Amino acid sequence: MPTHREPALRVAGLRKAFGDHVAADDIQLTVPAGSCYGLVGPNGAGKTTTLAMAVGLLRPDAGRAEIFGVDVWSDPVRAKGLIGVLPDGNAMPERLTGREVLTYLGLLRGLPHEVVAERTGDLLQVLELDAAERTLVIEYSTGMRKKIGLAVALLHAPRLLVLDEPFEAVDPVSAATIRAILRGFIGGGGSVIISSHVMPLVEQICDHVGVISDGRVVAAGPLADVRGAATLEDTFVDLVGARPRATEGLAWLSS
């Protein structure tokens, strides 16, 4: 039986290459139970690849991933029971309404029908998707897709939430709602790992942070240790290396 002393997520030596391009190289991360962990990195750094390998959606070339001590690749069924996942950009059962998606997935997970109905109603209401009762998921806006994805991740009351860019394309009001949900979830003993580009947001809700650049972890640990005296944004730019500034280019844009 996994206990709370086990970290919520531990990955070690994860590696994935697509052809010649190494998307993730020897990734080491530990997400303590009960923490909110922010995974940050520039575009194409390997955040999505890392999270996909950690939850069992992408087979790594090497390395291991454990969720509360359960190996994702040798005991996937138990591991998947413990996590709720919001992957980036994956399709859904597109021709169901939001309520139908949640009902279907709840029943598929073996939850009793009354529980499914109750939780579905709650989630749709809290995430403000209940107004679009007749809209199929394929007709949802980008922000609505994020929200129904989050509802799917929360439906079975997992112990670890793995959210890839949960705030992308979400309006400020909904973002506040999501932040409140996450705080409540962590307050109730849950653990969260999110990936994001938005540093102030990560600083606001996360207590641990990992920085990935070019497929490698360049810094990881409690937020205060990683950023030191500076802001996370400055630390991040220092860590991943400042790019050539664009101010001298695009001169024709200024009038």
Residues that bind another protein (CB under 8 A): 18-19, 55-59, 76-78, 80-81, 83, 85, 87, 89-97, 99-100, 103-105, 107-110, 113, 133-134, 136-139, 145, 152, 251-255
Using the minimum distance from each CB to another protein, give the nearer residue, 142 or 204.
142
Minimum distance from residue 227 beta carbon to another protein (Å)? 33
Using the minimum distance from each CB to another protein, give the nearer residue, 64 or 78.
78
The closest of 66, 50, 70 to 210, measured between CA atoms, is 50
Enumerate the H helices of 24-171 as residue ranges.
Answer: 47-55, 76-82, 98-108, 113-126, 142-154
Minimum distance from residue 208 beta carbon to another protein (Å)? 24
Using the minimum distance from each CB to another protein, give the nearer residue, 40 or 162.
162
The burial of 247, by beta-carbon neighbours within 10 Å (0-12 exposed, 13-18 middle, 19 or more buried), is given as exposed
CA distances from 123 to 4, 15, 52, 101, 119 (A): 27, 36, 25, 12, 6
Minimum distance from residue 102 beta carbon to another protein (Å)? 9
Using the minimum distance from each CB to another protein, give the nearer residue, 132 or 178.
132
Minimum distance from residue 14 beta carbon to another protein (Å)? 14
Could you tell me the two tokens for 176?
Answer: 């506040």
Using the minimum distance from each CB to another protein, give the nearer residue, 83 or 178.
83
Using the minimum distance from each CB to another protein, give the nearer residue, 113 or 183.
113
All residues at 6 or more sequence positions from 101 whose CB lies less than 8 Å from its CB, including other chains: 92, 93, 137, 148, 152
DSSP H or E run through 97: none
Using the minimum distance from each CB to another protein, give the nearer residue, 79 or 206.
79
Minimum distance from residue 175 beta carbon to another protein (Å)? 22
The burial of 52, by beta-carbon neighbours within 10 Å (0-12 exposed, 13-18 middle, 19 or more buried), is given as buried
Minimum distance from residue 177 beta carbon to another protein (Å)? 23
* Beta strands 36-40; 208-213: pairing state: parallel
Q: Phi/psi of residue 229, each to 5°?
A: -85, -20
Distance, in Å, from the CA atom of 220 to the CA atom of 232, rounded to the nearest integer, reads 12
Distance, in Å, from the CA atom of 3 to the CA atom of 254, rounded to the nearest integer, reads 60
Minimum distance from residue 241 beta carbon to another protein (Å)? 27
DSSP H or E run through 219: strand 216-222
